[in-house]
Amino acid sequence: MKGTKTLALVLLCLLLFQANDSILKLNHNTALAEKKKIILQQADKLQGGKKRSPTGRVEEVRSVSGNVVFVQENLLLTCDKATEFLESGIVQLRGNIFMTDRKLEVYCDDALYYPDTGIAELENNVKGRLLQNNLITKSERARIDNPSNQISIYKNAIAWQGERQLSGDSIAVQLRELNKKKNIEKITVIGKAFLAARDTLDPSRQLYNQLSGKTMYIELDDQETVTGVQVDSQARSLYHTYDEDQTPTGINYSSGNRIVMSFTDGQLDRIAVSGNVEGKQYPNKLRGSRKVDLPGFRLRYDEKPAF
């Protein structure tokens, strides 16, 4: 009899433990679901109905318009009109869209936001900036992947940071989280890649070192100082040269299938060119002449968005 009571007590304890474990898991899953939930904070008009979603299914929707404000954790999202597809969870945004997590600001005309994944797909007049390092971008399309810390811009993509201008068919920026900041770790440019960086040793502030090719990869350290650059296919470089006393000595031009540059403390330390290599040294008298610029060189600071 005593053994039977003991066994019953053990079974009861096991059942209670499993029940408590299930409750804890339920609470944990509920908390995760609440974190992913997007909340409508404000709108002038609210409507219901059915509509075909981006997934192709007809779903129940909640449509809002006029001074629309959504929040999700630290994300703030405003627009003129929004449609929330209640089955798939996708939010379709239209007109004067603004998104920010207080580290990144983005503006555009049309967007799809996926609250469950934290991914946003943006279209038409897309412009954005990283607040802590003032990287500014402009394009026709973009994709923001918050969980992966990736920003990709497409179609007439161009980016500015300080006195550097980077352009291409597409630009992908990989970020790293450091001390509650989003720092740039790597930049990948695909198609018509072109980098123009003002020559910091030039007192006239008119000269630009240039780099171009089909693809370009830029690596940065924790302080966002460039440590390496690789350019592939139709690679070309043009940079102004100086002696040990920082006296101008001319302009160096190189081209090949690949150009690899190494930097120390932000200064060019080594350059290696491979595959169908060509090179020449222009004399000082051509400094500032547009005749030596690489094909495709064009400063576009007049297009730089103002915030």
Please report, as a single letter, which amino acid is at residue 229.
V
pLDDT of residue 35: 52
In a domain, 21, yes or no: no
In a domain, 9, yes or no: no
pLDDT of residue 36: 62
Q: Please identify every stretch of the chain with a pLDDT value under 50, giving residue numbers as ranges.
A: 1-34
Q: What residue ranges in 86-207 does DSSP mark as E strands?
A: 91-100, 104-114, 119-130, 135-145, 150-161, 164-178, 181-198
pLDDT of residue 294: 97
In a domain, 8, yes or no: no
Q: Dmax of the chain from CA atoms?
A: 107
pLDDT of residue 137: 97
In a domain, 239, yes or no: yes
Q: Provide the domain count of the chain.
A: 1
CATH number where 223 lies: 2.60.450.10
In a domain, 294, yes or no: yes
pLDDT of residue 165: 97
Q: What residue ranges in the chain does DSSP mark as E strands?
A: 39-42, 45-52, 58-72, 75-85, 91-100, 104-114, 119-130, 135-145, 150-161, 164-178, 181-198, 208-220, 226-242, 248-264, 267-274, 278-282
202-259 confidence digits (pLDDT tens): 888 889 999 999 999 999 998 888 999 999 999 999 999 998 888 999 999 999 999 9
Rounded CA-CA distance 252/280 in Å is: 6
Range of the domain at 65: 39-303
In a domain, 34, yes or no: no
In a domain, 257, yes or no: yes
In a domain, 123, yes or no: yes
